[in-house]
Amino acid sequence: MTTLVIGGAGYIGSHVVRLLVERGEHVVVVDDLSTGFAERARGADLVELDVTLPDAQDKLAFHLHASGADSVIHFAAHKQVGESVAKPELYWHDNIAGLANVLAACASAGVRDVVFSSSAAVYGVPDVDLVTEELIPAPINPYGETKLVGEWMLADAERAHDLRTVALRYFNVAGTGWPDLADTQVMNLVPIVLDALDKGKKPIVFGEDYDTPDGTCIRDYVHVVDLAEAHISALDYLRGEERPYRVFNVGTGTGSSVLDVIAALSRALGEEIVPEIGPRRPGDPAKLVCSTDRIRETLGWSSSKSLDDIVESAVAARRGTPEATSA
Contacts to ligand UFG by CB under 6 A: 79, 81, 119-121, 172, 188-189, 192, 204-206, 217, 219, 258, 281, 284, 288
Rounded Cα distance between 171 and 236, Å, is: 21
CB of 224 to ligand UFG, least distance (A): 13
Spell out the residues 6+ positions from residue 320 whose beta carbon is closer than 8 angstroms to its own. Answer: 179
Spatial contact of 263 and 148, defined as CB atoms under 8 Å apart: no
CB of 297 to ligand UFG, least distance (A): 23
CB of 52 to ligand UFG, least distance (A): 19
Which of 143, 170, 210, 237 is flagged as catalytic? 143
In which region does residue 98 sit, left (phi positive, over 0), alpha (psi from -120 to 50) or beta (all else)? alpha
143 is catalytic: yes
Spacing of C-alpha 226 from chain mean position: 11
Nearer to ligand UFG, 53 or 140 (CB): 140
Nearer to ligand UFG, 7 or 105 (CB): 7
Nearer to ligand UFG, 29 or 288 (CB): 288
DSSP secondary structure letter of residue 290: B
Residue 99 has φ and ψ, to the nearest 5°, of: -65, -40
Q: Name the helix (H) or strand (E) containing 278.
A: strand 276-278
CB of 45 to ligand UFG, least distance (A): 29
Nearer to ligand UFG, 100 or 204 (CB): 204
Spacing of C-alpha 197 from chain mean position: 25
Catalytic residues: 143
